[in-house]
Amino acid sequence: MLASTIAAIATPLGEGGLAVLRVAGPKALAVADKVFVPVGKSAQKPSAAASHTVHYGRIERDGRFVDEVLVAVLRAPRTFTREDTVEISCHGGLLPAKLVLDALLAAGARPAEPGEFTQRAFLNGRIDLAQAEAVADLIHARTELALAAAGEQLAGKLSQRINQLRDDLVKTLAHIEAHIDFPDEDIAPDTRGQLLTRLERGVAFMDELLRTANEGQVLRRGIRAAIIGRPNAGKSSLLNQLLGHDRAIVSPVAGTTRDTIEETANIRGLPVVFVDTAGLRESRDDIEREGIRRTRAMVAKAELVLHVLDATEPMSAEDEQFLAELGGKKRIVVLNKSDLVPADCYKTLKQAIAVSCLTGSGLEALKDAIKETVWAGEIHAEMLQVAINSRHQDALQRARAATVRTAEALRTDLTLELVALDLHIAVNAVGEVVGRTTTEDLLDSIFSQFCIGK
């Protein structure tokens, strides 16, 4: 991979003021030389230019003008990939960027794969695997908290702690293997105690990290919250209020929503994917019945349910049925149209939150309830530093299990070869988090999820 020179459009496709293309690799300067014609006394060819300088000129292909550009020359190792890099700013729009890219490819570069620039940064030792994943998290962040968590991981806060954990396990492994090499010397009781203390400290730290897994996944992908209830209870109105704009059609005609509508909102710093669903009732209409079927399927996949009731109507048998059905899910009962009824209505629903989608009253209390249901307690900066993702969670769970087996084997005087075997497993699993232990399949899986040009 590192022997080739790659090029890609690094900005989203479409019309805009500027588009940026990135070229990186051992021949990046030579490729840029072939297509860039400097204009002005101070402008230079990329190969002759000093590092971290910008030059004005034009891109040409086979002597034909392509576009007017600015070229930034970035020489290794002070670049994102630690390779020679050229970044070209051309006019925005699909065609100018595509034509510049075509010129670069004709000059000897090849198209970059998804995430290949970041993968090269990892392979060249500029960032570790956890930091590489943070790059994608930064790009996809939908709230400021998610952005802050990705920034902490990109800065290496999680990596520092993981590397310290791995170093402690390696020290213990080295001590055990030394005794394997010199079998005539038994491990002294006080030394055994010190090794067990170090292993127990490692297990405790892994437990601390594993407790952040749910919060880390919430920040990265958000949670799905299904808005359900009888027709005309105000589900679509509630969605519009939570989003802050009109997304769903609101009508006094029951059964307007026939399909699910999804939209993401920032709720107290957490990304929440709200799903407006078809009203739950018995229907003879084939289309509405399909909508209700989809509603039930969506409820089954949702992590949170907002059950909207009409405060102006008595609870029906259907309401009671659905309340009972959803007893095992995280649920918030929302009493809509509360502006039309006395405050003590629905006394039996003590946990219900009264709102008015007409006046907006009660919506802030509902947002607080959503946040507390999803993420109990305060969101601290320390928590954002180590919020792990599902891949980290899997690796740490395997590392923890192997470390626990190691400690138990050490306590029961099992042969040291077995002790070392489990500890090797733990060290490798911890190393997977930051990429000190990797496979080609793992790297392909991670970087294939990136956009092209990053």
Question: Could you read off the pLDDT of 134-151 as tens digits, one per residue?
Answer: 998 888 888 888 888 888
Contact indicator for 259, 278 with CB cutoff of 8 Å = yes
Query: Which of 444, 446, 402, 400 lies closest to 130, judged by CA?
Result: 446
Contact indicator for 20, 10 with CB cutoff of 8 Å = yes
Question: Could you read off the pLDDT of 436-446 as tens digits, one per residue?
Answer: 887 888 888 88
Residue 376 has pLDDT above 60, yes or no: yes
pTM over 0.75: yes
Residue 293 has pLDDT above 70, yes or no: no
What angle do the packed helices 116-123 and 129-140 form, to 10 degrees? 150
Which of 49-63, 253-267, 438-452 is modeled with the greatest confidence?
Answer: 49-63
Query: Which of 222, 227, 220 lies closest to 298, judged by CA?
Result: 227
Distance of alpha carbon 119 from the chain centroid:
17
Contact indicator for 223, 370 with CB cutoff of 8 Å = no
The single-letter code of the amino acid at 419 is V
Question: Could you read off the pLDDT of 173-221 as tens digits, one per residue?
Answer: 988 888 777 665 566 656 778 889 999 999 999 998 998 887 787 788 8
Cα dihedral value 311, 317, 322, 327, nearest 10: 90
Give the C-alpha separation, 59 to 36, whole Å: 5
Confidence of residue 47 (pLDDT cuts 50, 70, 90): very high
Q: What is the pLDDT of residue 120?
A: 95
Q: What is the pLDDT of residue 257?
A: 47
Residue 253 has pLDDT above 60, yes or no: no
Q: What is the pLDDT of residue 255?
A: 47
Residue 452 has pLDDT above 60, yes or no: yes
Q: What is the pLDDT of residue 18?
A: 94
Give the C-alpha separation, 346 to 309, whole Å: 10
Q: What is the pLDDT of residue 343?
A: 60
List, in sequence order, every residue forming a beta bridge with 21; answer none if it has no partner: 9, 88
Rounded average pLDDT over 367-374 = 87
**Residue 140: both structure tokens together:** 């996809």
Contacts of 248 (CB under 8 A, 6+ apart): 235, 236, 237, 239, 240, 257, 261, 276
Q: What is the pLDDT of residue 67?
A: 96
**Residue 395: both structure tokens together:** 């690796």
The single-letter code of the amino acid at 256 is T
Q: What is the pLDDT of residue 53?
A: 97
Residue 428 has pLDDT above 70, yes or no: yes
Q: In the chain, what percentage of residues exceed pLDDT 90?
A: 40
Question: Could you read off the pLDDT of 235-247 as tens digits, one per residue?
Answer: 888 888 888 877 6
Mean pLDDT of the chain: 85
Contact indicator for 245, 217 with CB cutoff of 8 Å = no
Rounded average pLDDT over 104-116 = 95
Task: Identify the structural domains of the chain with CATH numbers, from first to last.
Answer: 6-112 (3.30.1360.120), 131-212+387-447 (1.20.120.430), 221-374 (3.40.50.300)
Give the C-alpha separation, 437 to 446, whole Å: 14
Give the C-alpha separation, 278 to 276, whole Å: 7
Query: Which of 73, 17, 85, 75 lies closest to 43, judged by CA?
Result: 73
Q: DSSP alpha helices (H): ranges in 313-377?
A: 317-325, 363-374
Q: What is the pLDDT of residue 86?
A: 98
Q: What is the pLDDT of residue 113?
A: 94
Q: Which residues of 265-297 are buried (b: 16+ CB within 10 A; e: fewer)?
A: bbbbebbbbbbbbbbbeebeeeebeebbebbee
Rounded average pLDDT over 369-398 = 80
Which of 24-28, 131-135, 287-291, 308-312 is modeled with the greatest confidence?
Answer: 24-28
Q: In the chain, what percentage of residues exceed pLDDT 70?
A: 86
